[in-house]
Amino acid sequence: GEDVEQSLFLSVREGDSSVINCTYTDSSSTYLYWYKQEPGAGLQLLTYIFSNMDMKQDQRLTVLLNKKDKHLSLRIADTQTGDSAIYFCADLRRANNLFFGTGTRLTVIP
């Protein structure tokens, strides 16, 4: 199949770390992305990782890629209430289009 799967919900307390997980099936994926979507808004590119990397860090964000298991994760350190949103992982297929997961709704509890 061509699915990109994510858990639907995650709740964390403010100040804790959040880890959002994603699995994908297409081994031809070249780039993997994390997007953030706030209510009523479009998609904000948070970070991306090339498929030959296994980790990328960008300020509070850490992306881990296990290509063997086709598993991608996004860790948000010191999660804030402003991080509450839906997070989508997506992979870039050979056809140069993005295939998205169903999204994980992150709720940050003050």
Whichever of 18 and 101 has its CB closer to other proteins, that residue is 101
CA dist., res. 26 & res. 92, Å (int) = 9
Q: 63 near 54, Cβ under 8 Å?
A: no
80 binds other proteins (CB under 8 A): no
**CA atoms of 78 and 52, how far apart (whole Å):** 28
70 binds other proteins (CB under 8 A): no
Find all residues with CB under 8 Å of 110, minimum gap 6, and list them: 14, 81
CA-CA distance, 55 to 66, in Å (whole number)?
9
Closest separation in Å from C-beta 102 to other proteins: 5
Is residue 26 at the binding interface for other proteins, with CB under 8 A as the rule? no
CB of 97 to other proteins, least distance (A): 4
Residues that bind other proteins (CB under 8 A): 4, 30-31, 33, 35, 41-45, 48, 50, 88, 90, 92, 95-103
